[in-house]
Amino acid sequence: MRRGMRVDSVSLASGAAIAALGVLVLLDSSEVVDVSPGWIAVALSAAIGLILLFSGLARDAAARHD
């Protein structure tokens, strides 16, 4: 890696959350697991919460000038 190159934690967390939702939908559509619409809504809410959490943490870290 080059010096000064940093990982964007918001993009990494967003990608992981969306990939996890995709795996859940794929498993449900291939009938490996039976997931009700209520549980998909819970997983979607958790993914959105994770993205907002990481977004808020990244914004707070950028705003600080320690």
Q: Tens digits of per-residue pLDDT, 10-45?
A: 899 899 999 999 999 999 999 999 999 999 999 999
Closest C-alpha among 61, 65, 62, 58 to residue 11 = 58
Asked if the structure places residue 50 within a domain, the reply is yes
- Name the domain count of the chain: 1
Asked if the structure places residue 4 within a domain, the reply is no
Asked if the structure places residue 1 within a domain, the reply is no
The domain of 15 spans 9-63
Asked if the structure places residue 2 within a domain, the reply is no
Q: What is the CA radius of gyration of the chain?
A: 16
- What's the whole-model pTM score? 0.74
Confidence (pLDDT) at 49: 94
